[in-house]
């Protein structure tokens, strides 16, 4: 016993310390720089109309975002980025959606970009933040005093943003369509995925992560640190319920384990659904051909699922004089 007890204690203490370190590290994402703003598009393309917006979340914190307006009532799409990203990385997609006739709201998830909150909830708080964004969106008025949104809302999200979109979609009847990239079924699965990504594979720590006890300790540590319990309903449970929502599930060759999770969610989802594998996901910033392919596919989905009306033909782009 004197031989094994110290070894067991060392293992237990090691697991607890690892859990604590990873919880702290996961909830403090390294913020990526803002690459551009809608002002850059406005200077180059002479469009679109946009505003810097701020609103209060359910817990009293503040969210920041950009609202690209059609200048009249139109269906509106809210863009939620993934872990370690920010809203500026999705401006090309937002602009393509705007050209297709949609209002677009981009915002920074807590702990990312220019968010005033310095920690991430890994999905525990992000759903509530998105619900707050939907509520705020419904109060935006156009120059004529009419609501900017025509009563139809679409949600686009990547990874943590996609998970939040699924949960928030069950909270508002105006949500009609969701495009979901590399999403996970529940927070426990996501934390496990992140832990394995952090410690690597084929080592002792990776094997310890697979033990049920480790997962429970991590879950308890996360709840204690964030001072909140997990939501009673997971994304997998929401998707398995009957709905009239339309879904697009997206994976890329770079989605890794999240690709398998997304496919499993697609298989279990109710409602009208579609699954597509593209060259790359939006887990990382896209460029040129990959970006054009991806954005066109998302725009095509929303045009079919939630068509905008009265969109004039696109005028040739005009460059600003220097």
Neighbouring CB atoms inside 10 A of 35's CB total 12
pLDDT in tens, 134-150: 999 988 987 778 899 99
Would residue 313 count as lying in a domain? no
Higher pLDDT, 93 or 314: 93
Give SS3 for 4.
helix
Tell me: do 1 and 43 sit in the same domain. Answer: no
pLDDT in tens, 25-40: 778 777 888 888 888 8
**Confidence band of 124 (pLDDT split at 50, 70, 90):** confident
In total, how many domains does the chain have? 2
Give the pLDDT of residue 314. Answer: 44
**Confidence band of 316 (pLDDT split at 50, 70, 90):** very low
CATH of the domain at 38: 3.40.50.1820
Would residue 219 count as lying in a domain? yes
User: For tokens 């964004």, what's the residue?
Assistant: 133
Higher pLDDT, 154 or 230: 154
Give the pLDDT of residue 41. Answer: 76
Would residue 314 count as lying in a domain? no
**What is the edge-to-edge ordering of all strands in the sheet holding 246-252?**
49-56, 62-69, 103-107, 74-80, 149-158, 175-181, 246-252, 272-278
Would residue 148 count as lying in a domain? yes
Would residue 98 count as lying in a domain? yes
Tell me: do 198 and 236 sit in the same domain. Answer: no
Give the pLDDT of residue 145. Answer: 81
- The domain of 26 spans 1-30+187-229
pLDDT in tens, 223-242: 665 666 666 789 999 999 99
Helix axes 160-169, 187-199, angle to 10 degrees: 180
- Of 197, 229, 261, the last residue of a domain is 229
Would residue 312 count as lying in a domain? no
Cα–Cα distances (Å) from 172 to 59, 71, 82, 155, 198, in that order, read 19, 24, 22, 11, 36
Tell me: do 36 and 82 sit in the same domain. Answer: yes
pLDDT in tens, 282-313: 999 999 999 999 999 999 999 999 999 866 54
Alpha helices in 54-203 (DSSP H): 91-99, 126-137, 160-169, 187-199
| Contact of 182 with 107, CB cutoff 8 Å | no
């Amino acid at each position: 016993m004197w031989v094994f007890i110290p070894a067991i204690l060392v293992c237990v203490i090691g697991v607890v310390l690892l859990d604590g370190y990873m919880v702290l590290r996961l909830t403090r994402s390294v913020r990526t720089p803002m690459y551009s703003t809608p002002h850059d598009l406005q200077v180059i393309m002479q469009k679109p109309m946009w505003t810097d917006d701020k609103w209060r979340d359910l817990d009293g914190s503040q969210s920041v975002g950009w609202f690209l307006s059609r200048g009249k009532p139109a269906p509106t799409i809210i863009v939620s980025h993934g872990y370690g990203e920010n809203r500026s990385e999705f401006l090309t997609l937002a602009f393509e959606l705007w050209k297709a006739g949609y209002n677009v709201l981009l915002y920074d998830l807590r702990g990312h970009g220019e968010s005033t909150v310095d920690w991430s909830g890994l999905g525990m708080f992000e759903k509530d933040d998105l619900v707050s964004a939907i509520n705020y969106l419904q109060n935006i008025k156009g120059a004529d005093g009419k609501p900017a949104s025509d009563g139809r809302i679409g949600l686009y999200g990547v990874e943590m943003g996609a998970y939040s979109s699924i949960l928030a979609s069950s909270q508002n009847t105006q949500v009609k369509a969701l495009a979901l990239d590399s999403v996970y079924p529940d927070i426990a699965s996501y934390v496990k995925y992140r832990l394995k990504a952090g410690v690597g594979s084929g080592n002792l720590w990776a094997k310890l992560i697979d033990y049920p006890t480790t997962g429970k300790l991590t879950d308890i540590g996360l709840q204690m640190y964030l001072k909140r319990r997990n939501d009673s309903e997971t994304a997998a449970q929401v998707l398995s319920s009957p709905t009239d929502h339309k879904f697009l599930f997206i994976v890329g060759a770079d989605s890794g384990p999240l690709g398998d999770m997304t496919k499993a969610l697609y298989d279990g989802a109710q409602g009208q659904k579609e699954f597509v594998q593209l060259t790359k996901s939006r887990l990382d910033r896209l460029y040129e051909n990959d970006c054009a392919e991806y954005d066109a596919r998302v725009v095509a989905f929303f045009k079919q699922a939630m068509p905008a009306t009265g969109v004039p033909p696109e005028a040739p782009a005009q460059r600003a004089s220097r």
